[in-house]
């Protein structure tokens, strides 16, 4: 008597494995997103710098991480850089580093957009009041920029979550890889011909449940903080 599909999904540790995979997906995404926001904020000021040479270096970095597909970057980092440099970094660490390198560029561009979109008179008024450059940024520019950046920052998290599925290329056991493994075991046992349909549908729903609320939150913020 073969198990019904829902029974089979919960049996043999399948559900537990999927949950663990989803945990790893969330971990990689959150760590990468947090690191990208920290470094990206600094990078945003590089992109908005007064000195043209500084800006040019920033732009080159941004274009470089934007133009090469992330799968290719992951591959190069894992199979070439790690090997050549003898780093021996784990595939999870490699993923986080690559996503942070990419996310820093993306988030930096968002920060640049926010910083440069603040009207000039805000800077000038602050100076007229006798605020130092540091105070001008800390008390006037940054608080206004945060509002403009917030929705994009939240969207970066969902993009990171979706991007983690690429880690399957370097065998990280995130939720996509777990799904594939469950399907291949099911295919070998010939018990559940509808396994791929069910498992990939479940994985799709899991991603959706993770990303959709965050996307909605970003939309809400955008409406509330519309400037």
Partner 1 sequence: MNWHIVADYVPQYGRAVLVVLRLAAIAIAGSLAVGIAAALVRHHRVPGAARLVAVYVEVSRNTPSMVQLYFLYFGLPLVGVKADGFTCAAVGLVFLGGSYMAEALRSGLEAVRKGQLDAAASLGLSPRQTLLRVTLPQAFAVALPALTANAIFLVKETSIVSVIAVVDLMALTQNLVSMFYTSNEAYLLLVASYLVILLPLSVALRLLERRVRHASFGS
Q: How far apart are CA 176 and CA 167, in angstroms?
A: 9
In 90-145, beta strands by DSSP E: none
Sign of CA dihedral 91, 66, 55, 130: negative
Site string for partner 1, 41-80 (x = CB under 8 A): -------------------------xxxxxxx--xx--xx
166 is a site residue for partner 1 (CB under 8 A): yes
Q: How far is the CB of 128 from partner 1 (least distance, A)?
A: 29
Site string for partner 1, 195-224 (x = CB under 8 A): -xx--xx-xx--xx--xx--x---------
- The span of 30-38, 129-137, 140-148, 178-186 binding partner 1 (CB under 8 A) equals 178-186
Q: How far apart are CA 1 and CA 6, in angstroms?
A: 14
Residue 140 or 183: the one with the smaller Cβ distance to partner 1 is 183
180 is a site residue for partner 1 (CB under 8 A): yes
Long-range (24+ apart) CB contacts under 8 A made by 138-147 are: 141/115, 144/118, 145/111, 145/114, 145/115, 145/118, 147/225, 147/227
Residue 152 or 203: the one with the smaller Cβ distance to partner 1 is 203
Q: How far is the CB of 122 from partner 1 (least distance, A)?
A: 22
Q: CA 201 → CA 8, 15, 48, 158, distances in Å?
A: 15, 14, 44, 19
123, 141 Cβ separation under 8 angstroms: yes
Look up residue 140 and give its DSSP letter: I
Q: How far is the CB of 130 from partner 1 (least distance, A)?
A: 36
Binding residues vs partner 1 (CB under 8 A): 66-72, 75-76, 79-80, 158, 162-166, 168-169, 176, 179-180, 183, 193-194, 196-197, 200-201, 203-204, 207-208, 211-212, 215
């Amino acid at each position: 008597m073969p198990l019904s599909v829902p029974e089979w999904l919960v049996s043999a540790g399948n559900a537990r494995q999927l949950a663990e995979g989803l945990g790893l997906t969330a971990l990689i995404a959150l760590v990468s997103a947090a690191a990208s926001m920290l470094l990206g904020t600094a990078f945003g000021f590089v992109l908005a710098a007064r000195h043209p040479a500084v800006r040019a270096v920033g732009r080159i970095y941004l274009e470089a991480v934007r133009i090469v597909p992330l799968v290719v970057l992951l591959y190069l980092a894992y199979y070439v850089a790690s090997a050549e440099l003898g780093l021996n970094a784990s595939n999870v660490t490699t993923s986080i580093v690559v996503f942070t390198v990419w996310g820093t560029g993306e988030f930096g561009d968002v920060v640049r957009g926010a910083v440069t979109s603040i009207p000039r008179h805000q800077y000038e008024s602050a100076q007229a009041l006798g605020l130092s450059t540091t105070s001008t940024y800390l008390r006037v520019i940054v608080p206004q920029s945060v509002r403009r950046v917030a929705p994009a920052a939240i969207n970066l998290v969902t993009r990171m979550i979706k991007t983690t599925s690429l880690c399957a290329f370097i065998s990280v056991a995130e939720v996509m890889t777990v799904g594939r493994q469950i399907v291949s075991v099911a295919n070998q046992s010939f018990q559940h011909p509808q396994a791929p349909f069910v498992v990939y549908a479940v994985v799709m729903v899991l991603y959706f449940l993770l990303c959709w609320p965050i996307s909605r939150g970003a939309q809400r913020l955008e409406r509330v903080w519309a400037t």
